[in-house]
Amino acid sequence: MPGYHPQDIEKKWQAHWKDQQTFRADNASDKPKYYVLDMFPYPSGAGLHVGHPLGYIASDIVSRYKRLRGFNVLHPMGFDSFGLPAEQYAIQTGQHPALTTEQNIDTYIRQLNSLGFSYDWSREVRTSDPAYYKWTQWIFLKLFNSWYNLDTNKAEPLKTLLEKFEQNGSEGIRAAGDDEERHSFTAGQWKLFSEKQRLQAVHPYRLAYQQDTYVNWCPGLGTVLSNDEVKDGLSERGGFPVERRLMPQWNLRITAYADRLLQGLDTLDWPDAVKEMQRNWIGKSIGAEVTFQVQDHEQAQIKVYTTRVDTIYGATFLVLAPEHELVKELTTPGQQVEIQDYIDATKRRSERDRMADTKTVSGAFTGSYALNPFSNEPIQIWIADYVLAGYGTGAVMAVPSGDQRDYVFAKHFNLPITQVVDAQQIDEQADPTKDGLYLHGLIKGQNYKQATQTLIGELEQRGIGKGKTNFRIRDAIFGRQRYWGEPIPIYYKEGTAYGVAEADLPLVLPEIDEYKPTETGEPPLGRAKDWKYKGLYEYELSTMPGWAGSSWYYLRYMDPQNTGRFVGEEAEQYWQQVDLYMGGAEHATGHLLYSRFWHLFLKDLGVVSAPEPFQKLINQGMILGRSNFVYRMNINWLIGRVDGTSMAFDNNKEKVAFPTLFVSKSLFDVLSNSLEEERPSAVIKLEEKLAELEQKLSAKHPAYKVEVHTYFLGMPDSFTPLHVDVNMVENDILDIEAFKNWREEYATAEFVLEENGTYIVGVEVEKMSKSKYNVVNPDTLIERYGADALRLYEMFLGPLEQFKPWNTNGMSGVAGFLKKLWRLYHPQDGTFAVTDEAATPQELKALHKAIKKVEEDIEKFSFNTTVSALMITVNELTALDCHKRAILEPLVLLLSPYAPHLAEELWQQLGHPAGSISHAQYPEFREEYLVEDTVNYPVAINGKVRETLQFPATATAQDIEAAVRASDFLPRFAEGKEPKKFIVVPGRMVNVVV
């Protein structure tokens, strides 16, 4: 087969892998298991761009390598196919989301297969498949029917809670959650409760429960949004305003697992940055809960949580979240307008924006006062948006002497600042020191440890507080007012929530006529006709969030066809957990945290065995787009009638089709800078072009006189850089005809070119995005260079975890490397010509250097250096004119994880059964082939190298010293002096001191 034609080879082997199910994994094997997983992709309509496969290529390399090392590898793929984008498209077009989702998945599968990934497609799952989300609903029901027993530190079925109620009522029960939401009752009262009363008593204990919760409500989309879906107070999709609103929502009690989620991080091989993000998100703190009595409101008390109860004598005001339940009650008549205006403004900001904004100082005084429980001094009660209703108690005691944010707030609003410790320096900023002795009341003269113990003891003795461990993490909001998601398997009888019977799962999405909320504001499922449980009871109209199905998909891959369990017991115990998880760092506190929570819950139920879902995590970096720019000149045309009427700016423009003018990069660089008195040649060139355009337009429109003035050149707005599709650019040269055909308004565009007649574009590295036209479609590159070249190039760009700029120009170098490798097997691109001759020492050395390097680098996930090593090896073997089986057969195995199609082709040509390379054995590294026969020693005299001598590798220091003493250069450079000392570094160098 003359010449290397990757497209033919790749199609052949992709078809073979599919037909033979080459990468199908068994759920039982004598081999050690290895589970490699890519983060669940959402199949968008845009398909893949070259930035997406980076992690997929890396995980595929590991999968193929592990097979060569004798592992039974599970490497599955599926799709996170529920979500808001498909629903929004359905609202716009009327198409059912299932149709567009199916089309998008087809595109993804085609593109993934074209890259030669070794997925076990027999295990494909889709979250929108009822056979899959049946088990998502099953897990929800298990959460709904469980509580968290703090005595056993695990989730238990509600049955164990009900037994406690039967025996002792609510007394002595220690359960995760807020005790204040629960009612106290005796065993006797419990026995007299009606069914509805019992369910109401149980509901606050459930791990899946309903509660009024502040959410990001987007009226334009008619749904609740997660913090990740809100940017600068607007929905990321559509740009609609988002406000904070109190709504009944389903929640999952992830807070019950906060401590275990923290502890488990210590057992994981994850990037430190990701673990630290989770630690911060969980936010464990040890402190105290304190009750402040509101002055002149006997029944009104404000609870705060503080980690610095020792500073309570310095608490000079309280700050409530604008959403706090007491704000309305505490606002005096004179403050109502100001408070309401502030609350309205806060509703337009997301929690994330409020937390991130540390510079803006804002707030409003309620008009009411609280009493400091220790000093008994009245202190003002304010609201401010930096306090969030969902964090802690929604109120903070402000100690401006010890907290910088409180300090700035107090200075801004002229509030008192009280020194707490004698060591504090608070003239210019807050001082949070714990050093020194305290100045006030009960703790006067005490140190930090003594003061903390004294105050907590007093709080508990007086019944106005207690020591408490708190967590920043909040329970996870689980409902979305959308259509395209898993229906929550809940129905309502007389207003009380009941779980659908497990035997009735899956609860399948009903057909509806439109995919937007009803006219009365209900979620889209409110449009479903006659959709009731057993024909009698109303279903829950919210659906699950996007993260529901992706929180456990790794388990379903283990046993996807099992109809009796979400994962079979034997399959789960064999695979246990993901050994290598590859995905983006943006999921650190969302998907990864929720998956760990669900896994710990399932472990409590006894249905999974591993302590954590993902043992090793790698975050691949982002491939940045290489954006290209053209430079539009903002021309001020002058137009007037030929009959002598006065010229006027932009008059009768509709009569003349003015062309858009673009200047090339070097001209832009000159013209966009301020001009000297002497006009550079670039300006002259531009003026010539404009004069040419004037003549063209005047000839085309003889009734008008057309002129352009160039006095504005050098002004900041003379030119506008515009993104141009990078696929129209090669080696920074614009394809002008393609550009003119790109958009109608550019059809008549004119260009001021470089001296060589080309248009050079500008370049900038930024995020790859359709809006920047810097997206490179892998289909185009595969068609031109082949999938193997694309795989190698993406790995060659740099370390996997780093951000890397994309430059298509570099593809040609990698493609050239593959052609050079091909010629080792097919000299001069001719017929296959591998010989059975014995390998030379130099050839064996080149091979075994590569075996060692590739193995070491893959094991430490350093893929870019492996590609470099393979390139060096091929260059060395080409220089040695090597065409020997003993060298080239192991070389194919080294190559196969990176360029699997070419490796399969060469493996077959070497005489092996078709497709058998995946079951071959990784070459054995042999150290003896790297041992050098001779060593070159630089010889220095007084530290300056004067000569290089070659010695046998076995030469001793005495042998080397004797040879140097006998040399003719030593007397010459030593100037007749006797050597004082010989320093021989074995294998490295010699230094003679004279």
**Can you tell me which residue has the tokens 């045309």?**
637
DSSP letters, 723-780, are: EE-GGGEETTEE-HHHHHHH-GGGTT-EEE--TTS--BPEEEEEE--GGGT----HHH
- 772 marked ligand binding residue: no
DSSP state of 126: B
Cα–Cα distances (Å) from 243 to 213, 225, 345, 530, 966, in that order, read 13, 10, 9, 33, 89
Query: Could you tell me which of 84, 99, 125, 127 has the C-alpha nearest to residue 228?
Result: 84
* Measured distance CA(782)–CA(790) in Å, rounded: 7
- Positive or negative, the CA dihedral 445, 450, 456, 460 is negative
Of 141, 182, 175, 202, residue with least CA distance to 256: 175
Q: Which two tokens stand for residue 746?
A: 């550019």
In degrees, rounded to 5, the angle at the alpha carbon of residue 805 between the alpha carbons of residues 55 and 593 is: 40
Q: Both tokens of residue 628?
A: 């290209």
* Cα–Cα nearest to 505, from 142, 126, 102: 142
| DSSP 8-state symbol, 620 | P
Single out the residue of 839, 912, 851 nearest to residue 880, CA to CA.
Answer: 839
**By three-state DSSP, how is residue 808 classified?**
helix
Q: How many CB atoms lie within 10 A of CB 799?
A: 15
Q: Is the N-terminal amide bond of 204 cis, ω within 30° of 0?
A: no
Angle (nearest 5°) at CA 364 between 359 and 370? 115
Pick from 145, 200, 154, 144: which is nearest to 176 by CA? 154
Q: Looking at 776-823, which runs of residues are DSSP E strands? A: 804-805
Instruction: With beta carbons less than 8 A apart as the criterion, state whether 555 and 510 touch.
Output: no
DSSP class of residue 463 equals: T
How far apart (Å, rounded) are the C-alpha atoms in residues 73 and 62? 10
- The torsion angles phi and psi of 86, rounded to 5 degrees, stand at -65, -35
CA distance 17 to 787: 15
* Location of structure tokens 């005299």: 941
* Residues 608 and 748 sit within 8 Å (Cβ to Cβ): no
d(CA 277, CA 296): 43
C-alpha angle 588/589/592, rounded to 5°? 65
DSSP assignments along 320-379, one per residue = E-TT-TTHHHH--GGGHHHHHHHHHHHHTS-HHHHHH--S----EEEEEEEE-TTT--EE
- Regarding beta strands 301-306 and 284-294, do their DSSP bridges make them parallel or antiparallel, or are they unpaired? antiparallel
67 contact partners, CB below 8 Å, separation of at least 6:
73, 118, 918, 919
Residues annotated in the binding site, as ranges?
770
Q: Which residues are annotated as a binding site for ATP?
A: 770
